[in-house]
Structure 1
Amino acid sequence: MKRASQFIRRTVILLVFGLLAAGSTAFAEELLRADHPAHYVVKKGDTLWDISARFLRSPWRWPEIWYVNPQVANPHLIYPGDRLDLVYIDGKPRLMLNRGPVRLSPRVRSRPWDGAIPTIPIGDIAPFLTRPYVLDPGQADSAPYLVSFGNDHILGGTGVRAYVRSLAESGGKYHVVRPGDPYRDAETGEILGYEALYVGTVEALRAGDPATVFFNSSEREAVIGDRLLPVNEETAWTDFVPHHPKGEVRGSIISVMNGVAQIGQYNVVVIDRGAQDGLEAGHVLRIDQKGETIRDVVTPDSSDTVRLPDEEAGLLMVFRTFDHVSFGLVLNAIRPIHLRDRVSTP
C-alpha cells in the first residue's frame, strides 16, 4: 500500500512537471519566431521594434520576455554595441542585456536623446508630436486669425509682421495653421475634426484688435484667414511602449500625412478612432486591406456581386491621440495599404 502511494505521488509530480514544461514550450513557440537568433548586437540606426521583430512573432510583446538585469545600469536603455542574449529562466524565454563598451559614466536620463536606441523611428514622427494638426469642430471659428500683412506684403512668412483679430495678450507664442479638409468617420460620414495645415510660428508683439505678431518661422506662405493657436510648451513624449488595446477597437485609415499616394512602412496615417474610443499612445493595431466588391462574371445575373474578405496588410502604432482621431506610424507593411483600409485590435 505504501509503495503504491509513493508510486502515485511520483507519477503526479512527474505529470505536473511535464505539464509545466509543455506549457513553457508552447509559450515559447507561440511567442518566438522559428528563425530567431540566439543573440544580437545592437547597431546604430536600430529601433527596439526592429530588434523585437528579429526574435518575436509579435514585436509589441517584447515586455513579456525582457529581463531586467540588476547588474546593468539603466537596463531599460539600449545602446549601439550592446548585446542581447536569448536565454531561458525557469523554462521561459528571456532577452538579457549585456552592456557593450562603456562610453559614458552611467546616469539616468532618457530625454533629451542620449544615444539610446528609440522604440520607433522618432525622426519620422517628430513634427507630429507637438504641433496642432487637428482642429475640433468649431475651434477654427473662435480662434484669432490673420487679417493683414501691412502695405508691403500680400503673403506672410519668416521675418514678416502681421495683424491679427482678437488677440488679447502680448508676448505669447502661437502656431499658425490653416483649416483643411474634414476628418470623417469612414462608416458614418460624421465629421470628427478638421485637418490643420501647419504654417509656422509667431510671437505676439502687441495685444489688441488688431494685434501685432511677428513670424519667427514658417514652413509655407501664410495667407489672410490663417488661424492662431497657443503653443504648448510641454515636452513631447517619445518613450513609447508598444502594447495592444485592452478592449476591441475597430476603425479605418482616413488620411495619410505628407500627401503620399500609396501607404507603406513609416508613413504617418490618421485613423477615425481617438482617446474617447479608448486609444492611447503605444497602442498597436492590425491593418487589414479592405476587400473589394467585384462582379461575379460567372453568374448570368449581371448585377450579382461578391465582397472579397479583408486581408492582413500590416501593423501600426498609435503615437498621438485626439478626442476622435489618432495619428499612427505604419511599422510593418506586407501588402499595399490604402485609405479606408481597416484597423483593429491584433
Structure 2
Amino acid sequence: MGMLCGMAALSLVLGHADARGDAPPPAKKPRLVRAPAAAQPAPAASPEAGLLRGPATVPAHWSRNHCPDSIPEGAAYYIVVKGDTLWDIARRFLGNPYLWPQIWDKNRCITDAHWIYPGDALIIPEVNVVAPGPGGAGAGTEETPAGGGPTGARGPSTPGQILFPSIEETALQCASYVVDGREDESLRLVGSEQGATKVAFGDRDILYLNKGSNAGVKAGDVYTLHHETYAVKHPDSGKAIGLKIEVTGWVRVILVQENTATVMVEQACADIHLGDYLKPFERVQVPLVVEHSRPTRLTPPSGKVVGTVVDMQDDASIAGDRQIVTLNLGTANGIAPGSLFVLYKVMYPSVPTPRIVLGEAVAVAVRDRTTTVRILNSNDAIMNGDKAELQ
C-alpha cells in the first residue's frame, strides 16, 4: 500500500535501500524546498555528470523492470548505479528532489518507484514545474465570456522561489470527482471472504470479482474502486453538471480463475461495499506550487475566467483549509493542474457591491468540464455557489 501512495516514495536499488543515507524517508506532509537556481531546459548530455544522449543500446543487466533495450535519438538518459534513488536522481539532474515523479512518469517501465536496479537506463525529462504564470486563454463559461484572460498554468521557476506539493498523494488518489456520463462498471466486487457477516470492507480484506482471466484480469494487477453517489447540479441554475464518483480505495489481484478473481484491499479511502466497480489503477501526479502571497480582501479581480463551487468532498456543507471542492471549469476553459484560483462570495448579486475574498485554491485534477481543487487557505467558510476566479 505505502509503496503506491507515499508522497515522496523513494526508489531503492536492489539490495541497497537508501545507500548514501542522505535521502529522507517518504514525506507524509508537504515540505518546502528551494527551487532550482534557474529554469531547467532539456538536460544536455554530459558523460562527466553521468548524463548521456541517445541513440544508444542499453547493456544487458538483471532487472525486474522490463525497460526498452535502446534509447531513442536525442533523448537524455542516465544509467542507474548501486545506491541510486529517484529522489537523488531528480535532485542531481532536475535540481529538485520533489520532481522525482516526473522521472517516473517518463519511465513507465518502472513498475514500482521503490525499486530501480543497477544498469536500468532512465530517460531524464525536462523540468515541468507548476507556477503562477501566463498560459492559454480560457474558453469561458456561462459566467465569463470566452477569452476572459490567460490561465495560470505550468511555467519555469525562478531563483529563490520555494516549491511545495499542492496536496498529499494519497489524498489526491482518494479524491472524489464528477464525470459527464456513466463510466464502465462491468468489473465489480461481488463477494468477500467473510460472506454475509460483513458489509463494509477495509485494508487487507479479501474480496471477489465477477470476472477473471476471460476478461483479461491478471495476478498482480491493481485496480481502483469506485461507486456513484448522486447527480451534481449547478447551485444557482440547477443545470445538471454530472455524476459524482467516490473513490473507495484500491485492490491488488492475488488469484485469478477463468470467471472470477480474488483481490486484497491495499488502501481503503472510505467504506468499500460489494457492487463497487473497478478501473485500472492510474497513479496521480501531484502538482508543485510556487510559494506566494495569499490573497486578501484587497486583492483586485484578475479579469480571467470565473467558475462556481458546485460540490464538496465527503458531502460537506462548508469547506476550509486543506479541504477538496469541485468547480464547474475544466480543460475546455484552459484550466491545468496547478492553476490557482481566488475564492470569493458576492453578498448582493443584484447590486454592484465589492466581492468578499474567502481564500485561495489550486487545481489538483482537471477533467473536460470540472476541476478538483484543494483549498490552500481560507478567511471564512466556503460553500457551494461561491465563486472561483482564475489567477
TM-score (norm 1): 0.56
Query: Match of 1:344?
Result: 389
Query: Match of 1:240?
Result: 289
Question: Computing the radius of gyration over CA atoms, which structure comes out larger, 1 or 2?
Answer: 1
Q: What whole-Å deviation, never above 9, does each CA across 1:130-149 have from its counterpart, x for those lacking one?
A: 44632534444534111111
Quote the Cα distance in structure 1 between the aligned partners of 2:344 and 2:370.
18
Query: Match of 1:185?
Result: 234
Written as runs of structure 1 = structure 2, the 5 A alignment for 1:242-261 is 248-258=304-314, 260-261=316-317
Query: Match of 2:92?
Result: 107
Written as runs of structure 1 = structure 2, the 5 A alignment for 1:159-198 is 159-166=204-211, 168=215, 169-171=217-219, 172-198=221-247
Q: Provide the aligned length of Structure 1 versus Structure 2.
A: 237
222, 229, 232: which one aligns with 2:272: 222
363, 382, 391: which one aligns with 1:318: 363
2:290 counterpart of 1:328: no
- Contact 1:255/1:269 (CA < 8 Å) preserved in 2? yes
- Contact 2:343/2:360 (CA < 8 Å) preserved in 1? yes
285, 291, 294: which one aligns with 2:341: 285
Aligned CA distance change for structure 1 residues 344 and 45 (closer, same or farther; 3 Å): closer
Q: What whole-Å deviation, never above 9, does each CA across 1:205-246 have from its counterpart, x for those lacking one?
A: 215433332223324332121111111146x24333589xx9
Written as runs of structure 1 = structure 2, the 5 A alignment for 1:1-346 is 47=32, 74-75=36-37, 107-108=92-93, 109-112=95-98, 119-120=163-164, 122=166, 124-131=167-174, 133-134=176-177, 136-140=179-183, 142-150=185-193, 152=195, 153-155=197-199, 156-166=201-211, 168=215, 169-171=217-219, 172-204=221-253, 205-206=255-256, 208-233=258-283, 236-240=285-289, 248-258=304-314, 260-292=316-348, 309=353, 310-346=355-391
Secondary structure of 1:129's partner?
helix
Aligned CA distance change for structure 1 residues 271 and 138 (closer, same or farther; 3 Å): closer
Quote the Cα distance in structure 2 between the aligned partners of 1:206 and 1:118.
47
**After the TM superposition, which of the residue ranges 320-329 and 191-200 deviates more from structure 2?**
191-200
Aligned CA-pair RMSD: 3.9
- Contact 1:242/1:283 (CA < 8 Å) preserved in 2? no
CA shift for structure 1 position 125: 4.1
Higher RCO by CA contacts (8 Å cutoff, separation 6 or greater) = 2
Aligned CA distance change for structure 1 residues 160 and 325 (closer, same or farther; 3 Å): same
TM-score (norm 2): 0.50
CA shift for structure 1 position 173: 0.4
- Contact 1:185/1:192 (CA < 8 Å) preserved in 2? yes
Quick check: which one's helix share is greater? 1
Quote the Cα distance in structure 1 between the aligned partners of 2:377 and 2:370.
21
- Contact 1:242/1:282 (CA < 8 Å) preserved in 2? no
CA shift for structure 1 position 280: 0.7
**After the TM superposition, which of the residue ranges 148-157 and 336-345 deviates more from structure 2?**
148-157
CA shift for structure 1 position 282: 2.0
**Matched AA of 2:307:** G
- Contact 2:235/2:384 (CA < 8 Å) preserved in 1? no
CA shift for structure 1 position 325: 1.1
Quote the Cα distance in structure 1 between the aligned partners of 2:372 and 2:178.
13
Secondary structure of 1:142's partner?
coil
- Contact 1:148/1:163 (CA < 8 Å) preserved in 2? yes
Quote the Cα distance in structure 2 between the aligned partners of 1:137 and 1:73.
38
Secondary structure of 2:223's partner?
strand
- Gapped runs of 5+ residues in structure 2? 1-28, 40-87, 101-159, 293-301
Quote the Cα distance in structure 1 between the aligned partners of 2:258 and 2:233.
36
Aligned CA distance change for structure 1 residues 128 and 147 (closer, same or farther; 3 Å): same
Secondary structure of 1:276's partner?
helix
Q: Between the two proteins, what is the percent identity of the paired residues?
A: 17
CA shift for structure 1 position 179: 1.8
**Matched AA of 1:74:** P
Quote the Cα distance in structure 1 between the aligned partners of 2:194 and 2:99.
45
**Matched AA of 2:259:** D
Quote the Cα distance in structure 1 between the aligned partners of 2:379 and 2:315.
21
